Structure formats: C-alpha cells, structure tokens
Amino acid sequence: MGFFYFDESIHPNGKFALGALAFAEHDLQEVVAEALREAGMTPRIDEFKSGARMDRSPAQRCAREHLRSIVRRHCRIGIVVAPHLPRQQLGIEALRGLKKVLSTNHFESAAHQVFFDQAVFPSSLANTKGAVENLSEFALTYFFEQDSRQVLGLQVADLVAHTCALMLLADLGLAKKTVKAGENSGYDPNSDMELGFELWASVRYNFFAATPPPPSEWKSKLDFQVDVESRGLHVATTCDPKVRASVLARFGSMYLGCIH
C-alpha cells in the first residue's frame, strides 16, 4: 500500500498557496519518529515545523536535516499551486493534482492512503464530494483534518511544501536570501549560494516526472531534464499569470545533470 501526505505553505505576498503531495511506498510513521528522536525530540509530543526559527532551535535544525534525508531516500513529490484566497480552493486543487499524479505514474501497489493536514479543506467536506467522486477509479482511503503530531508523514509534507514555496518565492524575486555552500556541497564551503538554488538541489531528483530522454538524443548535457509538468505538477487555472509562469519555469521541468 502507498501513502500520500499533503500539507501546504501559504504566501499572500506571492499570491499563492503551494501544497505538496509527499508519497512513499511504505508508511513513514516509524522513520519520521526515529528522525525526531535523533534530533532530541519526542515523537507525537514534539513536532517539526518548517516555519520555526531554525537559528533558535538546534533540535528543529537537526530534524530538518533528517527529514530531508527521508525525502531523498523514500519520497516522490507532487506539487499543487493555487491562489492564496479563497483558502478552501487549495483542497479541491489538491484532489485534482492527486488525480493527475495517480493517472500518469507507476506505483508498486494499487491501493493508497491519503492524509491531509488540518485546515486544507473547509469545515464541511460537502464541496469536495464531486472531486472525490472523480477519483473513484482509484483505490483510495482518505483521512481529512489530520494532526501532524500524530500522522508523522505530514511533517515530511510540511518540509517539502515549505521548501518548494521558498523556491517559488525566489523565482518570483520575493526571496533573495543566500546561505553558505557548506561541506559536501561540491563547492567552496564558505562560498555564498542562493537559497533557492540550494533548496532545488536538495529535491530535484524526487519529483514525479517522465522518463528522461536517452543520452543519444541529447544535444548537450543540458538536455538531461525530465518533464514534471505532465506527471507531478498541477496549477489552478485561477492562478495569477505571473505566478503560473514562475511555477512552470521553476517546476515544469527538472534538470538532473551535474551542477558542480
């Protein structure tokens, strides 16, 4: 059985809400619990929150690195982008994005559980009935309004949503932070690196995407790219045109070649 976890990152300054579908072929409950314990946190009591001040919490920073490792080793990623208002639209678009992912990708098992964080949908789920019925061809069990302290995979989705939202903010010119390259980056550890680039490098291999073209078809190494738009990206038709353009530029295709 597969497991989808959905959480969102909302940015009024960028006029968007970005939701992440973090998928794993196996339940992430125990691997996330172990990651939190290694960071000195108590699973189901303490919680990783990507919006926390990392400079004030060594435990949160440590948990973030462990969860990034979980994403790299266990997860595939789908992205959903909608306007930040009305808030209830994101849930409907999430279901549309889920259908796209399920319809265009291969999975080890046919049945999946789908967990949504709290407040993704309006208090009444009546408006989602039609969208859920559109997914009736798939063997899905839904869990709405879930507590991320208890459903630990949602903390992974939180990290992915925050990471991808910062990448989009950078593409929109709204986030210009730089960080040190650090050890094992392939660059001078003390050199400055744009945050958006550093985040992209950490997740670029994990998106739901089409198979890359064979090397015999490349005109240059820059052609080592995969199509994400058709397999792992859903953008609401109501998105601001500038946001849509940036989403497609940042996530529509993913370069997988050398960056050093």
pTM of the model: 0.92
Of 256, 203, 228, 232, the residue nearest 79 (C-alpha) = 232
DSSP per-residue string spanning 102-137: HHHS--S-SEEEEEEETTSS-SS-GGGHHHHHTTTT
Q: Which listed CATH number (2.60.40, 3.40.50, 3.30.420, 3.40.1800) goes with 2-255?
A: 3.30.420
CB 92 within 8 A of CB 236: no
Residue range 217-226: average pLDDT? Answer: 85
At 253, give phi and psi (nearest 5°): -140, 160
CB 28 within 8 A of CB 70: yes
What confidence tens digit (pLDDT) does each residue in 112-153 have? Answer: 999 999 999 865 565 666 678 889 999 999 999 999 999 999
Average per-residue pLDDT in the chain?
Answer: 90
What confidence tens digit (pLDDT) does each residue in 201-218 have? Answer: 889 999 999 998 888 888
Secondary-structure percent of the chain, ordered helix, strand, coil, rounded to 5? 40, 25, 35
Q: Where are the domains of the chain?
A: 2-255
190 pLDDT exceeds 70?
A: no
